[in-house]
Amino acid sequence: GQSLEQPSEVTAVEGAIVQINCTYQTSGFYGLSWYQQHDGGAPTFLSYNALDGLEETGRFSSFLSRSDSYGYLLLQELQMKDSASYFCAVRDRGTGFQKLVFGTGTRLLVSP
């Protein structure tokens, strides 16, 4: 089976930098994705890492180390609107389809 572990909650202030870690155990690994979900809303795609290293998209960056089965999402210049839940997800092939297995989720609280 697969498992992805994340811290349950992270708090930070506006303008700060925060890192959300994700460790995973899975077979047939094809990449690590990150999603943001505001309360009551649907997940929105943030980033995807197929290879080791850092991917930068504006204020958000994502890192992957396949040898360590580890990745993180880095959020810079935090804004109040960044308060949300963040999920890492593994693209894992199963029964011929590209399934997403989601992590436990990290609730980010940004305060003034």
Partner 1 sequence: GAVVSQHPSWVICKSGTSVKIECRSLDFQATTMFWYRQFPKQSLMLMATSNEGSKATYEQGVEKDKFLINHASLTLSTLTVTSAHPEDSSFYICSASTGTMGTQYFGPGTRLLVL
Residues that bind partner 1 (CB under 8 A): 40-45, 48, 87, 95-105, 107
| CB 74, min distance to partner 1, A | 21
| CB 76, min distance to partner 1, A | 24
Nearer to partner 1, 43 or 71 (CB): 43
Nearer to partner 1, 104 or 111 (CB): 104
| DSSP for the chain, written as a single string | --EEE--SEEEEETT--EEEEEEEE-SSEEEEEEEEE-TTS--EEEEEESSSEEEEETTEEEEEETTTTEEEEEE-S--GGG-EEEEEEEEEEETTEEEEEE---EEEEEE-
